[in-house]
Structure formats: structure tokens, C-alpha cells
Amino acid sequence: MDSDAGHTHAPQEPDATQYWEARYGEAERIWSGRPNQTLVEVVGDLPAGRALDLGCGEGGDAIWLAQRGWQVTGVDISPTAIARASAAADEAGIPTKRIRWQAHDLATWTDDGPYDLVAASFLHSRVEFPRTEILRRAAALVAPGGHLLLLSHAACPPWSAHHHDDHKPEFLTPSEEISALDLDERQWDTRIAETRSREATGPNGERAILDDGIVLLHRH
């Protein structure tokens, strides 16, 4: 007889890898393949060097950086996303030595760095993960003279399944983000900390104006 017979157990939340593999399995492509426009605007004038793309997804930002001379490391928890990113880079004609792809959980991922740019674009998840801790460790990989760029949602997009949830995710404002990171002010200065609006198109062609939080920090 099953020793658990007669007992009711709450369903277990999937771990982060399972969640994101299922998410990427919903369609042949989840994201547009284009780089985030704000990243393009902010990074466009920076001299190319070594870049780290945290939660790189299907590779849009990493490929754009590589096309502009950056040596890129793209990390994402989903092997499916990494496989698609690698295929997209091949299709774009990016030399394999220009981008290093890694399928790894950022909660346990480590790297020696250093990087001239560490970027995290919309690094949010419905599955619990230590986001601020991950970003603090990533900040430690920024070389002197380098930058940490964080792009985040200010609110759920109107087409999001969680837009009307009573328990929708809470997003930090730029000032809250900086405060949570708690970086040494003697080593860092803030170049950008603001919310910007942009036009966006949803998966079914919906048009909306979205607000994004932007934090750009420079390491002395």
C-alpha cells in the first residue's frame, strides 16, 4: 500500500530549469530575435570589449553585441534557448569564437571575468530565484572602467498572462534596484537611473506603450 494514501499534497512548483524549458517549448520562437532597443541606445557608444549577457534567451542582444565587435558570453538556464541562440548566431554569420554560449542556472553559475559590460535585460522569473544575489555577483565581474546595465519591466505588459493577477510580480524601480544591489559607492557611480517608455507589439499584434526601468552603473 502507498504510504501516502489518504494524504493530500500541494503540487510542487517546477524548478527554474523545468519552468523555462516548458516556456520555450510553447513555440518555435518566443522572442523577436531583435536586440532590446534600450540596450542598443545605451551601449551603442561604448567601446567594444568583453560582454556578459545574463539570461540571454534566444540571443538577440548577444548577437547584436558580437556584430559590433564585442567578445560575448551568453548564459541562460534553458538549453533550448541556448540552442536557438547558437543557431541564430550561425545564421547571422557570427564566428563561433565571437560568442561563448552556456546553458546554466545563474543561481549557481560562476565565472572569473572580468567583463567590460555586464548586461541583464528583463531578468525576471515567475519561479523563485535569487535575482539580487545574482546581480551582485555579476557586478563583481565588471572590470574597472566597465559598466553594469540592468533593464527591467516597470509593470507587466498588458498581454501578459499575469497582468490581472492579484499576485502579479513586483518590479523594483531604478532607485530601488540600486539600493538593493548595495554596491560600494567608492567604486561605482550611477550614469543612468530612470524609467523610459517605448512602443511594443504583443504576441498577437497588440500595440502598447511599456515602461522600462534602466540602470547603468560605471565602475571606477
pLDDT reported for residue 11 = 47
Mind giving me the DSSP string for 57-124?
Answer: TTSHHHHHHHHTT-EEEEEES-HHHHHHHHHHHHHTT--GGGEEEEE--TTT------EEEEEEES--
Q: What is the DSSP letter of 202?
A: -
Q: Where are the domains of the chain?
A: 16-219
Choice between 164 and 203, residue whose per-residue pLDDT is larger: 203
Q: Which residues neighbour 180 within 8 Å (Cβ) at sequence distance 6 or greater?
A: 132, 172
In single-letter form, the type of residue at position 7 comes to: H
CA gap 73, 91 in Å, rounded: 18
Q: What is the pLDDT of residues 61-85, one digit of tens each?
A: 999 999 999 999 999 999 999 999 9
Of 172, 202, 177, 200, the residue nearest 188 (C-alpha): 177
CATH topology of domain 16-219: Rossmann fold (3.40.50)
Res 168 pLDDT > 90: no
Q: What is the pLDDT of residues 149-160, one digit of tens each?
A: 999 988 877 766
In three-state secondary structure terms, 175 is helix
A 10 A CB-CB count for 7 gives 7
CA gap 26, 39 in Å, rounded: 26
Contact 105, 17 (CB under 8 A): yes
Of 19, 130, 17, the residue nearest 76 (C-alpha): 17
Residue showing cell 502507498:
2
Beta bridge partners of 74: 53, 101
Q: Which residues neighbour 168 within 8 Å (Cβ) at sequence distance 6 or greater?
A: 156, 162
C-alpha cell of 206? 497588440
pTM metric for this prediction: 0.87
